[in-house]
Every structure is written in C-alpha cells, then in structure tokens.
Amino acid sequence: MIPFSKPTLGPLEHEYVAQALASGHLHGGGPFTRKCERWLEARLGCGRAIIVPSCTAALEMAALLFEIGPGDEVIMPSYTFVSTANAVALRGGVPVFVDIRHETLNIDEDLVEAAITPRTRALFPVHYAGTPCDLRRLRSIADRHGLHMDEDAAQALLSSHQGTMAGTAGHLGCLSFHSTKNVTCGEGGALLVNDPGLAARAEVLHEKGTDRSRFMRGEVDKYSWRDLGSSYVPSEVTAALLLAQLERAEELNTARQRAWDAYHEALAQLDRDGRLVRQVLPAGCKGNAHIFFVVLPTAEERDALLAHLRSRGIGATFHYVPLHSSPAGRRLGRAAGSLRNTDDLAARMVRLPLWPGIDPRPVVDAINEWSEHASRR
C-alpha cells in the first residue's frame, strides 16, 4: 500500500514530548507553546502568532475579531474545506462564493471586486495546495473597499508570493498543523495577527474571553471575563510535538519538494499528449509542495484513473465537494456569479500521494499503465 499521506516523525519529536511529560506542565501556555509562537513570528515575519487547537479554531477567532454578525458577507472560494465557511456562518454571516482560477484552484482575483456589496465585511482567500494567491492584489482590494482580510493558509506554511509569506499579507492569517500537513502535531493550528490593533483582543479571545495572559505576565492582580472567547489553547504536549516539527520544517519541505519535482518531470509527456494537466506554480510563487495534483480531461477519466490507482494499492484521491453545491452551502451561503471552473475542476482533479521519503515511481508507473490501457480502448 502507498498511503496518500504519512506523518514523518523522528527522535526530536520523541525527545520534546518526553520533556513536556516530565515537566508536569501539561496544560497550554508553557515554554514549548511560547517557543512555537516565537518560531513562527521570526520565520514568517508576522506581528504575533498564537497557537490554537486547529486551523478551524483560528478561523473562528478571525470571524470574532472581525466582528462578523448576522447578514454580513464574507467573500471566499467555494473550493475549500468547510471550516472556512463555518467560521462565518457560526456568527450569522453569509459565505459568498467566488469562482477559482484553473491554474491554481485558488480564488480568481479578477472576480473578487464584482462580488463586493454594501454588506461585505471581509475577504477569506484560501491558498490551495500551498500555492499562494496574489497577496498584494487581494490586500489592495481589501484596503480600497475598507474590508478585513484573513488568509486561510492552512496548507501554505513557508509558501510565499513575490517575497510575501503566506498568512502575513492579511490582517490575520490561519495555519493548520493537522496530520496531513507538511508540519504536524496531529491536530493543531495558529492564528497569525498582522494587524497590531487586533493583538490584545486576540489574546483575550484565546484565553476563553479573559485577561488571563496579562495576569500570568503580572500586569494585573487577577483575571476576569472580558469578552467573548472559547477554549482555544492546546496542551503543552501538543506544542512540544509541534516545536520539533517546526524546527525540521525546511528539511520536511525539501523532501516533499523532491517528490513534487519528480512527479512534475515524470508526467510531462502525458501532459504534452493531452492525457492530463500537471499542477504548475505561477510566476512569483514559491510553494511548499503540500499537494501534487493533476486534472484529467473528463470526470469519467478521473474516476477511472482513481479506480485504477486504488486497485494497485495507491492512495490517490480527489478533494473537496464544492461548498456552494452542498446542502449547507445552498442554505447558508450564496454564489457570486458563475462557478463554472469550480464545478468543472472539482470533478476532474486527482491528488497523488505525497510525503517525505515517498518513491513516486510506482505511482507514475501505474498512471502510465492506465493511460496506455485507456488509449487502446
């Protein structure tokens, strides 16, 4: 079996978790948590990084910080995980779905301004597959219309566009450290606070709506309920595992990039022959090799390729069912214009197995086998 993804753990992860367990400090906010936050701030250049239990939690905090309320509209792609929309819908807001670009499967920046109405409060762009959107252009649109911007950078740690790190161009950014991500602690995330005006309130929301962080720093003599909030603090054991992975982030990304490059080169002939279209990176983008995807000519060929790969024990898969076509998406959100690319590409794309140390050759051999068989029919 070749799994779709596989976490890569080493001695450092075991060492740090053992240290956290031995310390007796198992609840959040300890030295490992602080080291993770400082690592992200230094490496990404964000103003403040806050470790949270998941990217979902970070997105929910973003909606709270932007004060999204009933009837407020937030522009986002339909081709994203449900958490992007849930964060808005939970506050009574309306996810407004915009079509995607066929090259990257990211939101089409050309369509964003046409989706803005007097009810629009924020943009939630998503950096699909670790490939950043046009960050400067989206932030310019947000600033021109007086909107907040939160980057769903769940898949994009250490990716950049024109030198700007994913997650740092918006007022806020959200990262994921789920077990399928390049850097993982099983379940985890981070809220990147790039707008200094949001930092103090973000700290309160993070600590269940209290000023406990100020109390722990000795700035107040007691802490109390100050605002909305929830339990957004992960355990110190989780942070210990995360710190080890962050310290190995470049190593892990480099190993993934080797596999990404091998796929890209090995599938070039099938691309030239029109059998599939390989994933590409636009000019100015530095990706992190989170996903390697291909797009088949038809949905039927996509399904046939997936069936063939699975019959060979290869864990390839498709991805999201577009949110605008889901039961909750139809009820809680709305489409801004045609979502033709979203519907079309979601039905034709395949994600190939990708993790550090994978040998792509058996996967490529199986794809070539399928193509040869299909071309003879």
Residues annotated as catalytic (active site), given as ranges: 181
Residue 333: both structure tokens together:
């959100």
N residues, the chain: 377
74 DSSP β-pair partners: 95, 122
Q: Is 209 left (phi over 0), alpha (psi -120 to 50) or beta?
A: left
Neighbours of 111 (CB within 10 A): 19
Q: Are 176 and 154 in contact (CB under 8 A)?
A: yes
Q: Are 59 and 87 in contact (CB under 8 A)?
A: yes
**291 CB-near residues (< 8 Å, 6+ apart):** 128, 129, 130, 155, 279, 351, 354
DSSP for residue 44:
H
Residue 371: both structure tokens together:
């193509």
Please state, in angstroms and rounded to a whole number, the distance separating the CA atoms of residues 222 and 214.
Answer: 9
176 DSSP β-pair partners: 189
Please state, in angstroms and rounded to a whole number, the distance separating the CA atoms of residues 192 and 171.
Answer: 8
CA distances from 335 to 75, 111, 340, 347 (A): 10, 12, 11, 18
Phi–psi pair at 297, nearest 5 degrees: -60, -35
Greatest alpha-carbon pair distance for the chain in Å reads 78
**373 CB-near residues (< 8 Å, 6+ apart):** 308
Please state, in angstroms and rounded to a whole number, the distance separating the CA atoms of residues 14 and 188.
Answer: 17
